[in-house]
Amino acid sequence: MKSRIKWIAASTVILLLAGCNPAPKYAKPPVQTPAAFKEVPAEFKEGTGWKLAQPGDDHLGAKWWQMYKDPQLNALEEQVKISNQSIAASEANFRAARALVISIRSAMAPTMTVSPSYTNSRFSSTAKGTRAVVPGGTGAESGTGSTQTGTAVGGSSTTGVFNNWSFPADISYTLDFWHKIRNTVAVNAFNAQASAADVATALVSTEAELAQDYFQVRAIDAQRRILENTVANYAQALELTKTLFKAGIDSDEEVAQAQTQLDTTAAQMTDLGVARATYEHAMATLIGKPAAEFALPVAEFVPNPPAAPVAVPSVLLERRPDIAAAERRVAAANAQIGVVRAAYYPDITLGGSGGFQTSTFSQWFTWPSRFWSIGPTVSEQIFDAGVRRAESEQARAQYEGTVATYRQTVLTAFQAVEDELSSLRILSQEIEQEHTAVNAANHYLDLATTRFRTGVDSYLNVITAQNSVLSAREAEVQIQLRQMTASVALMMALGGGWDTSQLPQGKQLSGKHPATQITEPPKGVQPVAVPNPPPLSTNSAVSGVPVASTTAER
């Protein structure tokens, strides 16, 4: 009766200890979250490119770029996830992290090994000392010199030759009383989730970078059209000054001024090809294509930012993959504390071995040839000179570091949203002001041209007015471009359509996960795409008007 009570008491203690997890109970670290974004006042005036989505429409879709209603952009964005090599590398890192979870989780199951073997051995007949019979033999042999005693099973006592047929099986199982294995699995599972969030972060960033590069190219196309029209107008003005010079009304100085203005503007237009080619090559890399195989045709620049899908700031914590990755690493660091603390407790392993062993092949798998051994092993480190305490302090410090990183990531995310909201709001006012400036500059040019034609003013006033128009129109395009890039940056700051429900859970971390599909380039000679618009030669024509000759006609 007493032995049964002792057994029950020991079992109860073991069960209680088995339910003790030395890791701190995890809770998501609190962060300071404002009630609303400062750059979205309760009352505001909507301007060009500045408006908010209606309640209920503040969640981005996975294909957020479709909000810009540009078919060419849509087609390019679809290729990022398929062919971008940086995304493929991030996805491979996630699969490696997931495989590590499966590997660590296997430690929670028993391990079993078998190692059948056969050996034939002979002892020296001249060696002195005592020799034990090899496994599988019976009796013992001893002697000095060539003297032997005992019986060698399966061999000769005179020759000392022995056979050993063995088929052992070993099994071991570590009892995870202190949650060391389970916490290790949790560490790797949380890190795998963080890796999956890193893939989403890389994808959103690449999609946003592609969209911004695309709008850069479209703005360059718009700027080129402005310069083409300006060059055509400057060419007409040059012809006018030449005509007036021949009539004796204007001087050759005014002809030289018109010629210089035309040549300078033509060179400025030619220089746009450098920037366009650079952005086009960058886009090719983002969609996983060689730059020689990609060309983006010239098209209209349509600066029409969609409504900003801004929700309350607290929602941002669930929609930013970088925030989710930082939070998962906090959870991993918390579980790591439990792994380190488990080192203070003993390791308990159940082990056993058994099988068949004999020196005669015909008796190998017979019942008398069986052998077995079983029993637990308890291992406890009784002195380590402070190693476990130091490792525990290190794990705690690393946890506090991940908490700080998480909170900093949240603050940076709030800042990014506020930055882009303020940019959109302020640029919407600036673009209206710049449009008014363009109209004023055109009116100024009309007046200066009329006064020049009538001989009231010199051509210098016309040049000043023309430069004012060109500067105002270029500034207007640049503001529109900044508006579009700020809109794209806002989409990225809001998470790019991602949310925490997309984090892999449970079975997704141990089951199959489709790899990123990488398109293979076609074999054979690769096609060469059409290059960017070539620089204009001095003899080419723009809109049917000669650009300029190298010298003014006298």
For residue 273, the model assigns a pLDDT of: 93
Q: CB of 493 within 8 A of CB of 423?
A: no
Q: Is pLDDT above 70 for 339?
A: yes
At residue 43 the predicted structure's pLDDT band, cuts being 50, 70 and 90, is: low
Residue limits of CATH 2.20.200 in the chain: 113-175+349-379
At residue 554 the predicted structure's pLDDT band, cuts being 50, 70 and 90, is: very low
Q: Is pLDDT above 70 for 400?
A: yes
Q: Is pLDDT above 80 for 14?
A: no
Task: Note the pLDDT tens digit of each residue in 166-177.
Answer: 999 999 988 888
Q: Mind giving me the DSSP string for 385-397?
A: TTHHHHHHHHHHH
- Looking at per-residue pLDDT, the higher value among 5 and 414 belongs to 414
At residue 60 the predicted structure's pLDDT band, cuts being 50, 70 and 90, is: confident
**The pair of three-digit structure tokens given for residue 16, joined into one six-digit string:** 């209680």
| Region of poorest pLDDT, from 44-53, 147-156, 423-432 | 147-156
For residue 10, the model assigns a pLDDT of: 52
Helices in 49-179 by DSSP H: which ranges?
71-77, 80-83, 85-105
Distance separating alpha carbons of residues 467 and 261, to the nearest angstrom? 9
**The pair of three-digit structure tokens given for residue 188, joined into one six-digit string:** 């790797």
For residue 130, the model assigns a pLDDT of: 47
Q: Is pLDDT above 80 for 20?
A: no
Distance separating alpha carbons of residues 436 and 439, to the nearest angstrom? 5
Burial (0-12, 13-18, 19+ Cβ within 10 Å), 170: middle
For residue 520, the model assigns a pLDDT of: 46
Q: Is pLDDT above 80 for 8?
A: no
Work out the average pLDDT over 2-30.
66
For residue 213, the model assigns a pLDDT of: 96
Three-class SS string for 233-296? HHHHHHHHHHHHHHCCCCCHHHHHHHHHHHHHHHHHHHHHHHHHHHHHHHHHHHCCCCHHHCCC
CATH number, domain 113-175+349-379? 2.20.200
Q: CB of 516 within 8 A of CB of 88?
A: yes
Nearest to 72 by CA among 238, 280, 226, 269: 280
Residue limits of CATH 1.20.1600.10 in the chain: 74-108+178-305+317-345+385-518
Task: Note the pLDDT tens digit of each residue in 296-307.
Answer: 999 999 998 998
For residue 458, the model assigns a pLDDT of: 76
Q: Is pLDDT above 90 for 161?
A: no
At residue 61 the predicted structure's pLDDT band, cuts being 50, 70 and 90, is: confident
Distance separating alpha carbons of residues 238 and 545, to the nearest angstrom? 11
Q: Is pLDDT above 50 for 138?
A: no
For residue 69, the model assigns a pLDDT of: 93
- Give me Rg for the CA atoms of the chain: 40
Q: CB of 298 within 8 A of CB of 221?
A: yes
At residue 9 the predicted structure's pLDDT band, cuts being 50, 70 and 90, is: low
Question: What is the enclosing helix (H) or strand (E) of 542?
Answer: strand 541-542
pLDDT over 90 for what percent of the chain?
Answer: 44
Work out the average pLDDT over 227-247.
87
CB within 8 A of 192, min separation 6: which ones? 94, 97, 98, 100, 101, 504, 509
At residue 144 the predicted structure's pLDDT band, cuts being 50, 70 and 90, is: very low
How high is the mean pLDDT of the chain?
82
Q: Is pLDDT above 80 for 271?
A: yes
Q: Is pLDDT above 80 for 285?
A: yes
For residue 512, the model assigns a pLDDT of: 53
Q: Is pLDDT above 70 for 56?
A: no
> What phi, psi does 143 have (nearest 5°)?
160, 175
For residue 44, the model assigns a pLDDT of: 58
Q: Is pLDDT above 50 for 295?
A: yes
Q: CB of 303 within 8 A of CB of 365?
A: no
| Region of poorest pLDDT, from 9-23, 36-50, 232-246, 459-473 | 9-23
Q: Is pLDDT above 60 for 135?
A: no
**The pair of three-digit structure tokens given for residue 253, joined into one six-digit string:** 């100085």
Where are the extended beta strands (E) located within 296-367?
A: 347-358
For residue 21, the model assigns a pLDDT of: 80
For residue 136, the model assigns a pLDDT of: 43
Nearest to 90 by CA among 212, 214, 204, 213: 204
Q: CB of 489 within 8 A of CB of 208?
A: yes
**The pair of three-digit structure tokens given for residue 198, joined into one six-digit string:** 């890193």
Task: Note the pLDDT tens digit of each residue in 357-372.
Answer: 998 888 888 898 898 9
- Looking at per-residue pLDDT, the higher value among 121 and 53 belongs to 121
Reported CATH class of domain 74-108+178-305+317-345+385-518? mainly alpha
Q: CB of 465 within 8 A of CB of 449?
A: yes
Q: Is pLDDT above 80 for 457?
A: no
At residue 535 the predicted structure's pLDDT band, cuts being 50, 70 and 90, is: very low
Highest average pLDDT, of 127-136, 183-192, 249-258, comes from 183-192
The CA dihedral of 339, 343, 344, 346, to the nearest 10 degrees, is 120
